[in-house]
Amino acid sequence: MASAPGIHAHGLVREFKNVHAVQGIDLRVEPGEIYGFLGPNGAGKSTTVHMLTTLLPPTAGTATVAGFDIVKEGPKVRGAIGAALQEAALDPYLTGREHLRLQASLHGLRRAEREERTAELLHRVGLTLAADRKIQTYSGGMKRRLDLALALVHKPRILFLDEPTTGLDVQSRNALWTEVGRLAKDEGVTVFLTTQYLEEADVLADRVGIIDHGRIVAEGTPTQLKAEIGRPTVEATPRESSQLTAVEEVLGRFGEFTQASPGAVAVMLDGKGDLADVVRALDAASLRVDDLRLHAPSLDDVFLAKTGRKLEGEEDSA
């Protein structure tokens, strides 16, 4: 083994009365890696995070975080991790600076170190100017950035982020992504990130685990997962509807037919040719098209293939 795993879970289970929230999860997250835990609401993402951060004892299974057992060595795990849980839990009557001081005090930082770390983190998350304002005046994005800063006060080796960008505007989301990426790249922090946004997992994560109904249904790098389930799709919309059959005949040479928009033909490429070959074949047959699209497989396609339903817009009450 090159180094102790950042997070290692085996058969992790959590049940609440009649609800099987997590049903046997196996995980291995390497140090410095950003692991995206992707799934719809109620899939078991937050319950898994609560177990790994020692806030919730598992019903069965074992896990180590930073090399410490989550059940037997809770305080050591907590000393090694930082966590920004779902919904930034902040005190509306305290300022950003006071939150950081409070957190630093509870982590045992001495006064000088506390002040230095507070100023450094406020600067890093762009809240220096708002540092002495009460939280009730902060926007959602500012709260999330402060939440991240609070998780970093004691310089953790592993960072848990539970849906960190839910409800944020694009600008705030991008700023948070940049900071998370920098933490992993420049400081070697291991990041365990839950999200229900495909784009977030795709952009940020080195590896992705897809969870559905408490089980991991797929795991790998975004590229691997996409390659695993499919090939690109080409969709063509003929200029004349009378040429639909002819276009079908041409596209049929390049792969199997798949679902297409009304008035269009689509095939999943089988490797006998690429988009350029399709264009040349259509041209050779003197067929003109209004629209020609190449659709690369997405994590949504992966989710669809693994669970039989689409992720985005999904409201799962399980």
- Summarize as ranges the residues that interact with other proteins (CB under 8 A): 53-57, 70-72, 74-75, 77-79, 81, 83, 85-87, 89-91, 93-94, 98, 102-103, 105-108, 134, 150
Query: Could you tell me the sign of the dihedral formed by the alpha carbons of 177, 181, 186, 190, in that order?
Result: positive
Question: Please, what is the minimum distance in Å from the beta carbon of residue 53 to other proteins?
Answer: 6
Output the six-digit token pair for 114: 């506390």
If the CB atoms of residues 75 and 271 are measured against other proteins, the closer one turns out to be 75
| Distance (Å) of CA 276 to CA 243, 244, 283 | 20, 20, 11
Distance CA 92, CA 35 (A): 31
Distance CA 268, CA 244 (A): 17
Contact 9, 58 (CB under 8 A): no
Bridge partners (DSSP) of residue 221 are: none
Question: Please, what is the minimum distance in Å from the beta carbon of residue 106 to other proteins?
Answer: 4
Question: Please, what is the minimum distance in Å from the beta carbon of residue 34 to other proteins?
Answer: 20
Spatial CA neighbour of 194 closest among 162, 147, 148: 162
Distance CA 232, CA 256 (A): 11
| Distance (Å) of CA 165 to CA 61, 86, 88, 147, 300 | 30, 9, 11, 11, 18
Question: Please, what is the minimum distance in Å from the beta carbon of residue 52 to other proteins?
Answer: 11
Question: Please, what is the minimum distance in Å from the beta carbon of residue 300 to other proteins?
Answer: 30
If the CB atoms of residues 105 and 178 are measured against other proteins, the closer one turns out to be 105
Question: Please, what is the minimum distance in Å from the beta carbon of residue 120 to other proteins?
Answer: 19
If the CB atoms of residues 10 and 239 are measured against other proteins, the closer one turns out to be 10
Distance CA 37, CA 51 (A): 14
If the CB atoms of residues 41 and 224 are measured against other proteins, the closer one turns out to be 41
- How many CB atoms are closer than 10 A to CB 201? 26
| Distance (Å) of CA 254 to CA 154, 206, 314 | 56, 32, 33
If the CB atoms of residues 93 and 171 are measured against other proteins, the closer one turns out to be 93
Bridge partners (DSSP) of residue 89 are: none
If the CB atoms of residues 11 and 252 are measured against other proteins, the closer one turns out to be 11
Question: Please, what is the minimum distance in Å from the beta carbon of residue 134 to other proteins?
Answer: 7
If the CB atoms of residues 105 and 261 are measured against other proteins, the closer one turns out to be 105
